[in-house]
Amino acid sequence: MKQKLLIIDDDERLNALLTDYLAKFGFEVQAVAHPETGLEIIRNTPPDLIILDVMLPAMDGFDVLRTIRRDSQIPVIMLTARGEVTDRIVGLEIGADDYIPKPFEPRELVARIQTVLRRKQNSATRESVLRFGDLLVDFDRKAAFLNEKNCGLTTGEFELLALFIRHKGKVLNREQIMDGVRHEDWEAFDRSVDVLVSRLRQKLSDDPKNPRYIKTVWGSGYLFIGEIS
């Protein structure tokens, strides 16, 4: 599954250059010039990582980042033509994952992107066992335990749970789930994803109306909300 990047920068020439360059490294790239357009994309089809310029029309990058962080932990790399240390500190304090001043070498940006994405994935899976309240997930054994009792997950159900955990804080739509889970029973329609999610919820004793682990984001997909304990 290709990792999706969203660029929010009012420099359309730079956007075009980065879109072409990053595509060579296997990324699916979408670039927009206006922050409101970017925020709408984040709400509807969240990317895996956001490249965010500080100097934007109508709303600066810091305000955009604050808005993003209200609902999402999607990694954000900030760009700026200003190299002041205070800008960098402010960006990191309000939730940026990395910061790169303009001008920069595109290859350096690729390296930063790969590092941030790898760090995010490793943070969710570097431990062989993770606990989310009453739920314990053992990646080595490919099993989940609720109140110390084995949930009896099938391979597809465990892969779905692992996918949610790896993308904690990001809404996954049905297409992303179908791309990310090897499941022999997939049908040619989205309902099969909902069925698999429903089965996983039942085994986790997760009430869709008051979820502890998997939240439905209507019109978008599903979001893992379990907190590591």
Distance CA 212, CA 190 (A): 24
Q: What region does 132 belong to: left with phi over 0, alpha with psi -120 to 50, or beta? A: beta
pLDDT digits (tens, 9 = 90+) for 15-46: 999 999 999 999 999 999 999 999 999 988 88
| Cross-strand partners of 138 | 129, 143
| Strand order across the beta sheet in which 98-101 lies | 28-32, 4-8, 49-53, 76-80, 98-101
User: 63 is written with which tokens?
Assistant: 């305000």
User: 121 is written with which tokens?
Assistant: 């994935």
Stated pTM of the model = 0.59
Average pLDDT, the chain: 87
**Tokens 């490919």 found at:** 142
Confidence class for position 188, pLDDT limits 50, 70, 90: very low
User: 48 is written with which tokens?
Assistant: 């895996």
pLDDT digits (tens, 9 = 90+) for 41-78: 998 888 999 999 998 988 999 999 999 988 777 899 99
Q: Are 99 and 109 in contact (CB under 8 A)?
A: no
Specify the CATH number of the domain 127-224.
1.10.10.10
pLDDT digits (tens, 9 = 90+) for 135-171: 999 888 889 999 989 999 988 899 999 999 988 888 9
| Domain range summary for the chain, segments of one domain joined by + | 4-124, 127-224
pLDDT of residue 156: 86
pLDDT of residue 85: 66
pLDDT digits (tens, 9 = 90+) for 76-103: 999 987 666 677 777 778 888 898 988 8
Distance CA 28, CA 200 (A): 29
Burial of 164 (0-12, 13-18, 19+ CB in 10 A): buried
Specify the CATH number of the domain 4-124.
3.40.50.2300
pLDDT of residue 127: 61
**Tokens 């290859």 found at:** 107
Distance CA 65, CA 198 (A): 33
pLDDT of residue 187: 52
| CB neighbours of residue 177 within 10 Å | 25
